[in-house]
Amino acid sequence: MNIRCYKATDKENLVALLRLLTPAYFAPEEEADFIMYLDLHATDYFVVEDGAELVACGGFNASKTIGEIKIAWDMVHPNYQGKGIGGRLLQYRIEKIQQIENINTIVVRTTQKADVFYAKHGFETKKIVVDYWAKGFDLYHMERPLHLD
């Protein structure tokens, strides 16, 4: 497995990955948002390769709140879930975030379909908004300190 920076040529494969995870983890309405994210905001976005196949992706972005950074658009191919790839990608990004000055909190805005994964990695649910992303896709606003004690 290799983790590397996202390239524009990855876009088609990542949209296909999103479709594999829809509607189990993402609402169909989110595809346009993901495409816009890749086009405009994917400066700190990474992919995981298994040979020539892209099997996972995820990034991070600055937050409007000082001292925070947001985890963004995490996905793991269904055939690769439960094998530790998502955890490795999350840890990779945390290590990158630790190199940024004045960050003390990592935020993730996810759903009830992925909150258990983040809770295993030290994130705590701070707020839930029912049907936020789409009907049946609740917002779970979760946070963790950059450095866990």
Domains parsed from the chain with CATH numbers: 2-145 (3.40.630.30)
Instruction: Answer whether the bond into residue 28 is a cis peptide, omega within 30°.
Output: no
Helix 30-40, helix 11-20: angle, nearest 10:
160
- The three-state DSSP-derived secondary structure of 12-51 is HHHHHHHHHCCCCCCCCCHHHHHHHHHHHCHHHEEEEEEC
Q: What is the reported pLDDT for 64?
A: 81
CB 71 within 8 A of CB 107: yes
* pLDDT of 65: 81
For residue range 16-38, what is the model confidence (pLDDT) as tens digits?
Answer: 999 999 999 999 999 999 999 99
